[in-house]
Structure 1
Amino acid sequence: MENQVTNNEHALRLFFTEDVFLVEDKSIQMAPGNIEKPVFADEPVFVKEHLESPLAQEIPKIEADILSKEVKEYPKPADIPLIVEEPVAPKVFKYLGGNKKSVLILVHDKTNDVSTEQGRELLRKIVKAVDLGTPDFALLNYANYLGTDFIELHQFFKPQIMLSFGVETQTLKLNLIWQNEIILHETTKMIFAPNLHDLDGDISAKKLLWGNLQKLK
């Protein structure tokens, strides 16, 4: 017997000539298939809103404030005048003699150019005792230059020997003490004695002076 199963549409119409209606049968339960279900995360997911940093909000404001202010102009370094200290000119002294042997003789007399007659005579004996002539020394009356210190005198005269009559170490701003002996200060040999007029009448002081003068030879 031939197979009666057919899928031909026209052949089926020959057998099924009546209308066919589909009726739902609730008594039949369909086997569950692959039904798609919504997928949920195991843990709740929170979506954080993007909050703008307060600092980021302030930056445009600050920049706007800066731009709104007037820009100050500062002078260039070349426009600033340089303050240059003027060099202090060394003192110029009026003195007697030639200073060829760099010997400075200081006297202190407010009345006379050098001293009294007695004082001048004593000075002539002193310079002769150390073999000095007028061209060899510089004779300065300190009374005309009060306040002058040794540094200023040294800058001008460059003395190798200094004989001081009536001008003390403190007056010349020297941190030295005269103890009746020759003082060697830097490159200068120093002898201190009383004022020439007073020295002429002081035998003890004259003996001390002669002893120191002999050491200069």
Structure 2
Amino acid sequence: MRPDTTPAQLRHFLTEELYLLAADKAFYGNASAAQAPVPDAAPQEPAIVKETPALTFKYLGGNQKKMLVLCHYADAEYMADAHLTALTNTIGRLGYTLNDVAIVNLFNYEDSAWPQLNSFFHPQKLLILGNAACPQGLPKLGQNQMQPLEGLKALYTYSFTEMIGQKENTKTFWTQIQTL
């Protein structure tokens, strides 16, 4: 290198990084003094990120037509057998099968809220069977009235316990579910 060439000028001609040898540091003392040595940083442990467990719900059915049925049974995994038969017969008259719906027993998920259910199932239709089956965070719905809810059709109606043996309740349910 020529003596009249400064390290500042070299950066225009050389694209690679240059490193000074110990013997050259004395010659370019002012240039290397501008870059103070960086002390070694203490080794840091990586921050532990606590992962949120994936939200899952155990449900009966295939959810192929995105119809979510919410119920509340303390003594059954999904629904009482007689009530499941009645529901299957009812949705069968409407052209649905068990593969088309997702039946969730909210007794098993009492801490779950409507936004969690909505984001997991992405329902287009919602059937709520009884007051105990209303999830937290669900906007107030009128009973036995088809209502729009966040871009889907919702029906909040009687539980099957309230309908079995009550012809008036069953008739009201049948009238409304036909519009779902």
Which of the five TM-score ranges fits, normalised by the shorter chain?
0.5 to 0.7
Q: Which amino acid aligns with 2:175?
A: G
Gap regions ≥5 residues in structure 2: 1-42
Q: Give the Cα separation in 1 of the matches to 2:128 and 2:143.
A: 14
How high is the TM-score relative to the length of structure 1? 0.55
Distance 2:152 2:133 in 1: 13
Contact 2:106 2:135 in 1 (8 A): no
The SS at the match of 2:110 is: coil
2:157 aligns with: 193
Residue matched to 1:28:
none
Distance 1:203 1:168 in 2: 21
- RMSD of aligned alpha carbons: 2.6
Shift in Å, 1:115: 3.0
- Give 1:144's aligned residue: 108
Task: For 1:83 and 1:204, locate their aligned partners in 2 and report how far apart those are by CA, in whole Å.
Answer: 61
* Distance in structure 2 (CA, Å) of the matches to 1:169 and 1:119: 14
Alignment TM-score, normalising by the size of structure 2: 0.66
Residues 51-90 of structure 1: CA distance to partner in whole angstroms, max 9, x if unpaired?
xxxxxxxxxxxxxxxxxxxxxxxxxxxx999989756444
Structure 1 distance, partners of 2:137, 2:106, is 14
One-letter identity of the residue aligned with 2:167: I
Q: Distance in 1 between matches of 2:86 and 2:109?
A: 23
Q: Does 1:214 align with 2:166?
A: no
Quote how far apart the aligned CAs of 1:184 are. 0.7
The residue correspondences of 1:171-190 to structure 2 (distance < 5 A) are: 171-190=135-154
Following TM superposition, by how much is the alpha carbon of 1:161 offset from its aligned partner in structure 2, in angstroms? 0.5
Letter in structure 2 aligned against 1:123: L
Q: Indicate if the aligned counterparts of 2:162 and 2:169 stay in contact, CA closer than 8 A.
A: no
Give the Å deviation of 1:147: 1.9
Identical aligned pairs, as a percentage? 25
Partner of 1:94: 58
For residue 125 of structure 1, the aligned residue among 66, 72, 89 is: 89
Compute the displacement of 1:118 (Å): 2.8
Change (3 A) 1:178 1:80: farther
Larger radius of gyration: 1
**In 2, Cα distance between the equivalents of 1:184 and 1:169?**
18
Distance 1:196 1:114 in 2: 13
